Structure 1
Amino acid sequence: MGVPRRGSSFIRKRRIAYMGLGVMALLLILLFRLAWIQGTAGIHMSVYGGHSLKEMSARQRQEGISIDSGRGQFTDRHGQPLTGGVVWAPVLFPDVDGKAALHGEELAKLLRTNKKQLLTRWKGLQSPLIWRDGRGEPVQINPNEAGKLLKLAPSLIELVPYAKRYRDLPNGRQWLGFLYERADRASELPMGAAGLERTLEPLLSGVGETFVSRFVDAQRRPLTHIPLRVSAPSNGHYPLQVQTTIDLPIQEQIEKLTESSHLAEGAVVVLDAGNADVLAMVSRPFYNPSHVDPKKKTDWSNRALKAITPGSIFKLVTAAAALESGVVQPQEQFHCHGTYGKYGLACWKKEGHGTLNLEEGLAVSCNSVFAHLGERLNPKQIQATASALGLSRTVGWQERNLAGLPQFRPLDHEEKGAVFGSHTNASDPGVRVQTAIGQRDVLVTPLQAANLIVTLLHDGQVHAPRIVKRISYADGSTLLELPAHAASSPEGSRLIHTSTARTLREAMEKVVTQGTGASLRNKSWNLAGKSGTAQALKNGHPINHQWFIGYGPIERPRYAVAVLVQNASTHSANQATALFGQVMDLLAQSS
């Protein structure tokens, strides 16, 4: 006997068999033993649908189990499934006569367990059970094993097409989230605990489960002449399907890159340079959505949405603020001697950079140049420019009063970051100097950092990164379209000037051609960007957060990318720059 390949085929065959052969036999049984509940229009046999006397009587003659929660599914931008899939799993029915013991050793081997454990569990069964492995995953039966398994325990084991939501593998898709069971709900249906599973919960929950069941006699022995029955909701609009903006091949390849480059903690975000759609978002360390401990947030938290010290990538904001407020001219000359002379500040280049202008200072990431700018700027100018560029606020796609939800915000727990701390004296010039180089209280998420690049490519227009594109009914018709759009601007804010955005783009090109990103000069595309190293403490020990953000190709930008490497050794080279180059090579090959 072979195992059918598709669950839908199995269900159709079972329904046809039931309608064509089982109805007459079932009616005869019911006429003989339950004649008093007989109806003129036939007997409704939906085991899990309602609460009529007819249904309650039928329920006493059946044993069943859920094989699909009816929850909505996710796909990538091309329609490739991100959730869902069918595996053929064994269902054990109560063994009232102890027949399973006759072939205990052979059954245990096929079910990936030992004889004692199998028979002990089987003996205590009061209802059907999907047999699972030690990790709680349904045991998958291959075609070569199916016939033998069913022959060893006829009527005690059935193979059913079980809907498996996730692949049982670690990955960096924390934006998708995971599910957990809530015991306080009568139905015990899964609820979204994080990511899109949580933010889209009201739409994903569906209209009911699919059950497979069998009929038994008064002693709970199976009625073998009546086939298994599948009961499913009859609403053709559900389950819904959510099409994301994610490009699954790119997501998977970047996940592999983070593995091969030994990235322990951090994130990689790839946005479409045209409209800020999220094409890939990888968070390290990986998590396994099939096996999540909700208490261990460090595993399943999405680091791409968590704010962290940005270091020198924030110099793009400082430069923009200085240009917008007129406290600097592009060709003004600065002098870097290695030490700044106050606030304990020094440039990373001990011997100094010599004489250089703003653009050159940004290319080589000179601390002295930006310390001067920090002293000249006031707190309001720095804060206003950061906000105008999409920082210190959430930027993910959102809409009010959509699909009955007061606030529709797909990106889960996106942090807004900060420029100045709530208790910081921003009027202190020493505070502003530290802020100007991306230290002190400045916090930025990798998503914001990638979106900052998109903003500069669009001459200061902030887009709202989108991760959900379309929500469809089961028949393919559209429930919701979620169009790309600009992010809402804070009250009183204005866009930066086109000339400012152009100056910063030219400076980012020089970062690669003659600055801190020189290692990227021989990549598949001509690239531009900005590196950053933020100093921090972890458990009392100094560590660095390494960044590189940028775009490519320069001639016709297609992708904006942010790479964050967290908690790196203070003596290590900038791993983020190297990984950024690998990501861009991958994108060039995929184009």
Structure 2
Amino acid sequence: MIEKRMKRFAYICLVGIFILIGRLAQIQLIDTENFAKEQINLLEASVRQRTQQVVVDNGRGTFTDKNGISLSTEPLSVLILFPFLKEMDWDVERVANIIGTSREHLTEQLEKAKDPFVFRDDGPVVLDDWQVKEINALQIPGVFAVNKQFERPGQYASQLIGIVGENEEELKKRYPDRNFSNETVIGITGLEKSFDPFLIQEEQTKLLYHVDGKGGPLFGLDVKYINPSNPFYPIKIITTLDFPIQQKLEEIADDHRMNKGGIVLLDIESNTILANVSRPKIDEKDPYRNDGLVNYTLKPQYPGSIFKTVIAAASIDYKLITPSRTFDCSKTIHGEEDDVYDHGILTFQESFAVSCNNTFATLAEELAGIDPNVIETYGDAFGLIDEVGWKGDVFHFTDFTQLSDEEEGQIFLTDTEKTDAQLVRLVGIGQLNVKLTPLAVANMMATIGRGGTRYSVRTVDRIEYENGSKFFSFPMDEGEEAIRPYTAEKLRQLLREVVVNPQGTASALQDLPYEVAGKTGTAETGIFVDDGNEQFVNRWFAGFFPYNDPKYAFAVVQLDARKDSSSPISITRDIVEFLYEYDQH
């Protein structure tokens, strides 16, 4: 009996030993990189447990403006200290003197440290070249002056550039055939998302040392500097942005307390984005809060009278306009007396300058009577319905798009709207279901400014290797004639009349150093405040300048604004004055 129990116990022990051996084999030999259902990389976890490190450069590609100024990160020379210095006798006084701080301030931060850290005051203490050389010449283990990448402060073009983050599920979905660390960051929004296949990190540059269970040095005080030393990576994305312009337009938006809206500025010759501002800003602590990640220049909005530009173009081509034809601008679009705007009888040109609703509601109804699709056809010709960002083939990526967050605009939602006279009249003044993106509106103004040829909008000029050699260039497309040169010239004159006519809705811009041409717009949003006494509106101004030799096209929009909010006209004034001064240097 005892013998049977002993055999049974021995058998159980033997099975347990085999299970334990199998488990150890699974952990150490078989599933080392994808252990358990969580797919844990045991090799990485083991290394992390036995090392302390500072990542100097995470290896992800970066963005620069067109002149090479970094947009997403900036390299700073900083002092890095390792916590084992607390147990050493080292020349604290000498290091403190070199960086211009006190011994006490330096040791205070060190005493609190459990991991390697960047020495800080209000922010990272930035070192000069001579300070870097002096510190590293001391050759003190655990004391390093290095060039480290930091996120650029100030949030410039942050919604356009986008954010990155860790997402294991999305990482594996995007790159099923590549073996990335689960801690690899990927682009979540903006250009970071669009260009993620090129930007995704390969190897990190870091300082590290091995520790024992108590956090002490395992193999002495040998701190290793690991640098992939790859002359080609990480990749650099050279955008079309102009950093000083971007920086100033951000300041202008804040000066005018733009709570929600955006500014987009295009270079007409190259049809590229020079600056892109969106509000509200991204909350750095909680990026998903308050729509801070939304780039409102790429989202369709109610345009109001901005859309009258499209009606004007179609009316010119369909010869609905004659020098002698006049319109009753003391009436609303429903034929009633207008209690707010009583402009009397006006010509077509005068109607455009004062933005007479009845004129363009009438013309829209006449156009729909000729062809129910004509309004949509002209909107499409201007690129207001489809996405206008650059698309094309990039190596094995077919239909690659630079602006992955861009959305399409809309004019009519149903065919019924095209044949209902009252609904068409609302469409004629940019209401009902008309929604356009500020980028598409700015592109329409660029098309008019250059004489009728429409191009797609580029935000990135090229991709470069780390050593500066070219990886890929995004060519300007061949373009297509959106409207006839004759029509474009007539529209140019109409847009200028908005500014030079004393009664024009943008007459406040007459005295600027650059002659501006453009169109205002105020659109009802259907959102009421103050117990229904006031409705939020979208306030627009879009156009181009200088008038005789167009260089810039733009769109400024204040979304969900009150009547007493800062006017897009005032914002435009500041933009034009700045660019005039900027161009003189």
Aligned to 2:570: 578
Shift of 1:197: 0.9
The letter for the 1-side match of 2:402 is P
Shift of 1:570: 3.0
Separation of aligned partners in 1, 2:50 and 2:542: 64
Matched, 1:162 2:145: no
The 5 Å alignment of 1:142-157 reads 155=141
Aligned to 1:338: 330
The letter for the 2-side match of 1:369 is T
Q: Taking structure 2 as the reference length, what is the TM-score of the superposition?
A: 0.77
Shift of 1:531: 0.9
Separation of aligned partners in 2, 1:440 and 1:302: 23
Separation of aligned partners in 2, 1:570 and 1:59: 57
Q: 1:387 aligns with which of 369, 380, 385?
A: 380
Q: 2:467 aligns with which of 475, 478, 483?
A: 475
Q: Any conservation in 2 of the 1:455–1:461 contact (CA below 8 Å)? A: yes
Aligned to 1:372: 362
Aligned to 1:22: none
The letter for the 1-side match of 2:162 is G
Aligned to 2:235: 240
Aligned to 2:494: 507
Matched, 1:362 2:348: no
Q: Any conservation in 1 of the 2:439–2:555 contact (CA below 8 Å)? A: yes
Shift of 1:431: 0.6
Q: Any conservation in 1 of the 2:329–2:357 contact (CA below 8 Å)? A: no
Shift of 1:109: 4.4
Separation of aligned partners in 2, 1:548 and 1:253: 18
Q: Any conservation in 2 of the 1:505–1:528 contact (CA below 8 Å)? A: yes
The 5 Å alignment of 1:183-194 reads 186-194=181-189
Structure 2 spans left out of the alignment, 5+ residues: 1-40, 93-101, 170-179
Shift of 1:59: 10
Aligned to 1:522: 511
Q: Any conservation in 2 of the 1:347–1:368 contact (CA below 8 Å)? A: no
Aligned to 1:173: 158
The letter for the 1-side match of 2:346 is L
Q: Any conservation in 2 of the 1:461–1:486 contact (CA below 8 Å)? A: no
Aligned to 2:430: 438
Q: 2:421 aligns with which of 429, 432, 442?
A: 429
Q: Any conservation in 2 of the 1:171–1:287 contact (CA below 8 Å)? A: no
Q: 1:221 aligns with which of 217, 220, 233?
A: 217
Q: Secondary structure at the match of 1:175?
A: helix
Structure 1 spans left out of the alignment, 5+ residues: 1-50, 123-127
Q: Any conservation in 1 of the 2:71–2:152 contact (CA below 8 Å)? A: no
Shift of 1:406: 2.6
The one-character-per-residue Cα deviations of 1:447-472 (angstroms, maximum 9, x if unpaired) are: 11111111112332211111100111
Q: Any conservation in 2 of the 1:325–1:381 contact (CA below 8 Å)? A: no
Aligned to 2:278: 283
Shift of 1:264: 1.9
Q: Any conservation in 2 of the 1:203–1:240 contact (CA below 8 Å)? A: yes
The 1:345–1:375 alpha-carbon spacing in structure 2 relative to 1, beyond 3 Å, is farther
The 1:561–1:230 alpha-carbon spacing in structure 2 relative to 1, beyond 3 Å, is same
The letter for the 2-side match of 1:247 is D
Q: Any conservation in 1 of the 2:85–2:142 contact (CA below 8 Å)? A: no
The one-character-per-residue Cα deviations of 1:290-328 (angstroms, maximum 9, x if unpaired) are: x253433611211111110101111000111222334x1
Aligned to 2:64: 75
Matched, 1:195 2:187: no
State percent identity of aligned pairs: 29
Matched, 1:260 2:255: yes
Q: Secondary structure at the match of 1:163?
A: strand
Separation of aligned partners in 1, 2:458 and 2:406: 13
Separation of aligned partners in 1, 2:556 and 2:457: 16
Q: Secondary structure at the match of 2:308?
A: helix
The one-character-per-residue Cα deviations of 1:229-271 (angstroms, maximum 9, x if unpaired) are: 2122243211111111111111111111112222222111111
The 1:554–1:295 alpha-carbon spacing in structure 2 relative to 1, beyond 3 Å, is closer
Separation of aligned partners in 1, 2:304 and 2:505: 14
Bigger mean CA deviation after superposition, 329-338 or 253-262:
329-338
Separation of aligned partners in 1, 2:46 and 2:291: 50
Aligned to 1:497: 484
Bigger mean CA deviation after superposition, 557-566 or 532-541:
532-541
The letter for the 2-side match of 1:198 is K
Q: Any conservation in 1 of the 2:64–2:236 contact (CA below 8 Å)? A: yes
Separation of aligned partners in 2, 1:537 and 1:221: 66
Separation of aligned partners in 2, 1:463 and 1:315: 21
The letter for the 2-side match of 1:500 is T
CA RMSD between the two structures: 3.9
Q: Taking structure 1 as the reference length, what is the TM-score of the superposition?
A: 0.77
The letter for the 2-side match of 1:210 is T
The letter for the 2-side match of 1:362 is F
Aligned residues: 512
Separation of aligned partners in 2, 1:440 and 1:496: 25
Aligned to 1:416: 408
Q: 1:230 aligns with which of 214, 225, 229?
A: 225
Shift of 1:396: 0.8
The letter for the 2-side match of 1:250 is I
Shift of 1:407: 2.8
Shift of 1:207: 2.5
Bigger mean CA deviation after superposition, 575-584 or 427-436:
575-584
Aligned to 2:267: 272
Aligned to 2:96: none
The 1:213–1:518 alpha-carbon spacing in structure 2 relative to 1, beyond 3 Å, is same
The letter for the 2-side match of 1:414 is E
Aligned to 2:29: none
Q: Secondary structure at the match of 1:499?
A: helix
The 1:529–1:141 alpha-carbon spacing in structure 2 relative to 1, beyond 3 Å, is closer
Q: Any conservation in 1 of the 2:72–2:161 contact (CA below 8 Å)? A: no
Bigger mean CA deviation after superposition, 216-225 or 443-452:
216-225
The one-character-per-residue Cα deviations of 1:495-552 (angstroms, maximum 9, x if unpaired) are: 3222221111111111111011111111111221111111123365511211111111
Separation of aligned partners in 2, 1:392 and 1:194: 22
Shift of 1:222: 6.0
The 1:58–1:547 alpha-carbon spacing in structure 2 relative to 1, beyond 3 Å, is closer
Shift of 1:172: 4.2
The 5 Å alignment of 1:201-216 reads 201-214=196-209
Bigger mean CA deviation after superposition, 176-185 or 562-571:
176-185
Aligned to 2:298: 305
